[in-house]
Amino acid sequence: MEVNADDFFKAANLDKPRVPNKVGSNVTLINVMQIAGLNTLGISIARIDYAPLGQNPPHTHPRATEILTVLEGTLYVGFVTSNQPAPNRNKFLSKVLNKGDVFVFPVGLIHFQFNPNPHQPAVAIAALSSQNPGAITIANAVFGSDPAISDDVLAKAFQVEKNTIDYLQAQFWENNHY
């Protein structure tokens, strides 16, 4: 197979705003699936657009550390450490970022970004340390899996009534399955 410049190029229009989804964000990921030349290089990039009060909900990248740079607006960001021994067990670390600020989310840790401004959108660029970082949105995975995780299991894990779990699963099932 002959390599050419197009294996390392994509007219991605990352300078153009994107329409946010139901939670008020839009992630445009450029990884090895869009640029074949990224294969084995261990990098990818994403543009994230946030509507006013929009969020990129709690999620994790199982194969990548993320470094986020705010291009426009303000973001409230944070992550939770792992179940390591005290005193840092499940410690929540957060910061308010402004234009030009940078924040790192270590590989595999649950993290989020939220635009606290009710009037202005925000934009960020994220670099990831994998050509295929993966993304697991926590609520979608837990409450919208197919087939559904037993409500008995989730009720015990979250220490709530089964009808609460049923309600949450219904929200995600209706939106994620056709």
Annotated binding site: 56, 59, 61, 66, 111
| DSSP-derived pairing of the beta strands 44-50 and 122-128 | antiparallel
Full DSSP string of 50-110: E-TT-EEEEEE-TT--EEEEEEESEEEEEEE--SPSTTSTT-EEEEEEETT-EEEE-TT--
Annotated binding site for Mn(2+): 59, 61, 66, 111
Nearest to 132 by CA among 64, 51, 75, 58: 64
CA distances from 151 to 10, 58, 144, 172, 177 (A): 44, 21, 12, 14, 18
Distance of alpha carbon 125 from alpha carbon 61, whole angstroms: 15
Annotated binding site for oxalate: 56, 61, 66
